[in-house]
Amino acid sequence: QVQLVESGGGSVQTGGSLRLSCAASGSIFSIYAMGWYRQAPGKQRELVATITSTGYTNYADSVKGRFTISRDNAKNTVNLQMNSLKPEDTAVYYCNAGLFQGRTPGSYWGQGTQVTVSS
């Protein structure tokens, strides 16, 4: 069993900041990548940022320069620092982890946390 638990969502005004955190727990052998995705009402889920176990990061163009992803491999956690937030960042944010349970790879999702940015 693997669980991803997110925290840190909330409501802010335009230009504000929020920090999301996600902790993975359970029967985990290793995590090769973690990331954040978001889904706004009526839209498909989209990538926000990902980070590998070696620290390679990838960002959506819409958040580059404003969001920063980081992870603690020892604690199986990933964070997303979101600055200069815009109303278009409003969405449910989901944590994702690509990991091995023994030799079996899998992709796991958190339950989601709401981020609302008001103008």
In which band, very low, low, confident or very high, does the pLDDT at 27 lie, cut at 50, 70 and 90? confident
In which band, very low, low, confident or very high, does the pLDDT at 103 lie, cut at 50, 70 and 90? confident
Can you give the pLDDT at residue 70? Answer: 97
* Alpha-carbon distance values, 56 to 59, 62, 69, 80, 84 (Å): 10, 18, 10, 14, 23
Q: What is the mean pLDDT of the chain?
A: 96
Share of the chain above pLDDT 90, in %: 89
Can you give the pLDDT at residue 33? Answer: 95
β-strand 30-39 against 46-52: which pairing, if any?
Answer: antiparallel
Can you give the pLDDT at residue 88? Answer: 97
Nearest by Cα to 106 from 15, 21, 17, 30 = 30
- At position 81, the amino acid (one-letter code) is Q
Q: Please state, in angstroms and rounded to a whole number, the distance separating the CA atoms of residues 35 and 28.
A: 16
